[in-house]
Each structure stands twice: as C-alpha cells, then as structure tokens.
Amino acid sequence: MDKMDNFRFVIVTGMSGAGKTTLMQYLEDIGYYCVDNLPAILLSKFADLCWNSTSKIQYVAVGTDTRGGTFFDALPQALYELEQREIPHEVVFMEASNEALIRCLTATGFRTALRKNARFWRLSVPRRI
C-alpha cells in the first residue's frame, strides 16, 4: 500500500475563539500526532520529517496561527512548498459566528485575546460586533 494512501497532514488555523484547540484535542484523541502553535515557517520542514520518516506516524495535525507572530506570514510559502514536494495535506480554517466569538472572548478575556491577536483582527474579514 502506498504511503500517500495512509498519510494525513492536517493544518488547523483560523479565528481566535473558533475552536482550533478543541479540534486539535479531538484529533489527538482519535490518534493524530498533534503539534499546536508551530510557526508556519517550519510547516514544510516538519511535514518533510513526517512524510519521510520511517516511523509509523500516519496522521499528523498542526495548529498554526497568528500566535506565531511574523512567522505566520510564511504560511502561503509553506503551502506552496508542500505542493511542490507533493506532500498530501489539508487546511482546516476554523471560523465562528459573532455570537460564538463574543462568548469565547468574554469567557477568556477579550482584551488579552485582542492584544495577542491584534494583527489577525486587522487581516481578517471585517465583521461588525
């Protein structure tokens, strides 16, 4: 059986408060090897390591977002490199309704989330809250 048939490399990203952590925990529970907060600049190198590994790692999930600071800018290049190397991958972008985001940010401290992800808020599709 070809490795491509069994290998899954999932990149989880999206809005703060949309459920990325919950998804990563679920994926880990069902057998994925999970790495959260991997700077996007390291995605293709990490994917190479997993893809070419002689270990039994078949299911990998990586969380990456603006917590990586300026390294997050490397995401488009990292995705391009994965395509060029023919490493199978999927991108899951998590988003949520305004109401869900407000609930989450209120519960976790809106100011802290906004301060930590101010760049993301500027880059995301404008929403009225």
Tens digit of pLDDT for each residue in 93-103?
Answer: 988 777 776 67
How many Cβ atoms are within 10 Å of 45's Cβ, its own excluded?
Answer: 11
Q: How far apart are CA 97 and CA 72, in angstroms?
A: 23
pLDDT at 126 over 80: no
pLDDT at 119 over 90: no
pLDDT confidence band for 52 (50 / 70 / 90):
confident
- pLDDT at residue 128, rounded to an integer: 45
**Cα dihedral 107/108/113/116 (nearest 10):** 180
- pLDDT at residue 20, rounded to an integer: 87
pTM score of the predicted model: 0.74
Each residue's pLDDT tens digit, 62-102: 998 877 777 788 888 999 999 999 999 999 998 877 777 66
Question: Which residues are CB-contacts of 4 (< 8 A; sequence separation ≥ 6)?
Answer: 88
Query: Residue 60: enclosing H or E segment and its boundaries?
Result: strand 59-63
- pLDDT at residue 125, rounded to an integer: 45
- The DSSP secondary structure of 5-37, one letter per residue, reads HH-EEEEEEE-TTSSHHHHHHHHHHTT-EEE-S
